[in-house]
Amino acid sequence: MNITDVLKRPLITEKATLLKETSNAVTFAVDPRANKKQVQEAVEKLFKVKVLDVKTMRVSGKTKTRGRIVGRRPGWKKAVVVLKPGDKIEFFEGV
């Protein structure tokens, strides 16, 4: 898997912003097939930072109802990446 395929998009939520401020951790939506080592390599190469820890979790899709039609949103995978103290990703600054 190519390193550009591993990271899909950054997640900017209240919880992710709080993690960034308190523990220097950033959150990404990643490819469901990616493992922790691939996520670590992708973040280090793309953003030129040192990664200390990676936590991954699968988020299950929600069931949505529209009238009598019931559908389901797809599940996805989330990664919380803890960076070395002093390192930061400029993409998240000012958000």
- Residue-wise pLDDT for 23-39, tens only, equals 999 999 999 999 999 99
73 falls in which pLDDT band (50, 70, 90)? very high
Instruction: Give yes or no for residue 95 having a pLDDT over 60.
Output: no
Instruction: Give yes or no for residue 90 having a pLDDT over 70.
Output: yes
Q: Look up the pTM and report it.
A: 0.87
Rounded CA-CA distance 78/55 in Å is: 8
Rounded CA-CA distance 46/37 in Å is: 14
